[in-house]
């Protein structure tokens, strides 16, 4: 697949963001551009780290986006090998805790990025895969200043979070949070409107069922009745992965937003 590159991507820079010094990679176009640039805050999946999506960030930087790749809470350089972590906490409660922390982190990072003079404050987009996709959606629902969201395997229903990846059921306190932040609840999904949204999912996803993305899309449709061209759902012959067709469609969508 040939992906159009407007700019040469610069070298990844290790940075920290916000009062808690969230570690991240920043990759921007290497060549100069007039005026502030759009920004894509791209969150990796569960059990990965900020380098996992670096090849995609190099593509998006080539499209003209300042791209930020943060380490999720409990991941990458924030991983605690001596404490509870994703390798030893086989608990849906822990998974929901990670989701909650990452959603909060994305809010902190988004706010900090709007203070960067190289970034256009009106064009800060969120995106991600799996854990990153679901947290990007929730963070976008919460923050009306986010310009739009692209999520791969991120439209997850409550059942997926309450017994994440086959883990034991969450306790009552965690279930209450999951229900309050149900992405497929019409009241929550409507908060995405009128911003551009791209939902992508593999039909054969064996980790996070595609039904969650379909449910989110259907819940959001009423709020997009006046501008249906801003709400897109693309399903693919894929499992729990970022396939080349997905990447191509995401690139096309981002080019429309810049």
- Residue 167 inside a domain? The answer is yes
At residue 31, does pLDDT exceed 80?
Answer: no
Domain count, the chain: 1
Average pLDDT over residues 57-75: 95
- Residue 5 inside a domain? The answer is no
Are 53 and 129 in contact, with CB atoms under 8 Å apart? yes
Owning domain of residue 154: 13-257
Confidence of residue 33 (pLDDT cuts 50, 70, 90): low
- Residue 3 inside a domain? The answer is no
Asked if omega into 194 is within 30° of 0 (cis), the reply is yes
- Residue 4 inside a domain? The answer is no
- Residue 155 inside a domain? The answer is yes
* C-alpha pair distances (Å), 75 with each of 110, 217, 220, 232, 254: 19, 29, 31, 30, 27
Structure tokens at 252: 């096309």
- Residue 233 inside a domain? The answer is yes
Enumerate the H helices of the chain as residue ranges. Answer: 54-62, 92-113, 131-142, 158-162, 172-180, 186-189, 211-221, 244-257
Structure tokens at 248: 């191509």
Confidence of residue 8 (pLDDT cuts 50, 70, 90): confident
Q: Which CATH number is 164's domain given?
A: 3.40.50.1820
Confidence of residue 163 (pLDDT cuts 50, 70, 90): confident
Confidence of residue 10 (pLDDT cuts 50, 70, 90): confident
pLDDT-above-90 percentage for the chain = 86
Average pLDDT over residues 79-91: 92
- Identify the bridge partners of residue 37 per DSSP, sorted by sequence position: 119
Confidence of residue 7 (pLDDT cuts 50, 70, 90): confident
| Secondary structure string (H, E, C) spanning 131-170 | HHHHHHHHHHHHCCCCCEEEEECCCCCHHHHHCHHHCECC
Mean pLDDT score across all residues of the chain: 94
* C-alpha pair distances (Å), 25 with each of 10, 41, 155: 12, 10, 25
pLDDT score at 98: 96
pLDDT score at 3: 57
- Residue 99 inside a domain? The answer is yes
pLDDT score at 2: 53
Give the distance from CA 6 to its chain's centroid.
23
Give the distance from CA 112 to its chain's centroid.
17
Please state, in angstroms and rounded to a whole number, the distance separating the CA atoms of residues 97 and 80: 15
Average pLDDT over residues 234-238: 98
- Residue 158 inside a domain? The answer is yes
């Amino acid at each position: 697949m040939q992906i159009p590159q407007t700019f040469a991507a610069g070298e990844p820079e290790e940075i920290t963001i916000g009062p808690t010094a969230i570690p991240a990679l920043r990759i921007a176009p290497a060549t100069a551009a007039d005026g502030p640039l759009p920004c894509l805050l791209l969150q990796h999946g569960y059990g990965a780290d900020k380098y996992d999506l670096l090849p995609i960030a190099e593509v998006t930087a080539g499209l003209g986006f300042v791209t930020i790749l943060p380490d999720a809470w409990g991941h990458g350089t924030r991983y605690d090998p001596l404490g509870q972590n994703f390798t030893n906490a086989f608990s849906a409660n822990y998974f929901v805790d990670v989701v909650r922390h990452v959603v909060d982190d994305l809010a902190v990072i988004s706010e900090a990025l709007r203070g960067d003079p190289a970034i256009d404050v009106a064009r800060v987009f969120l995106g991600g895969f799996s854990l990153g996709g679901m947290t990007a959606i929730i963070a976008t629902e919460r923050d009306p200043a986010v310009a739009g969201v692209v999520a791969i395997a991120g439209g997850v229903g409550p059942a997926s979070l309450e017994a994440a990846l086959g883990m034991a059921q969450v306790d009552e306190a965690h279930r209450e949070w999951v229900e309050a932040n149900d992405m497929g609840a019409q009241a929550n999904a409507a908060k995405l409107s009128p911003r551009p949204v791209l939902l992508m999912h593999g039909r054969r996803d064996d980790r996070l069922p595609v039904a969650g993305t379909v449910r989110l899309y259907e819940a959001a449709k009423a709020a997009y009745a006046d501008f249906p061209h801003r709400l897109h759902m693309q399903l693919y012959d894929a499992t729990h992965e970022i396939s080349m067709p997905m990447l191509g469609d995401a690139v096309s969508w981002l080019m429309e937003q810049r």
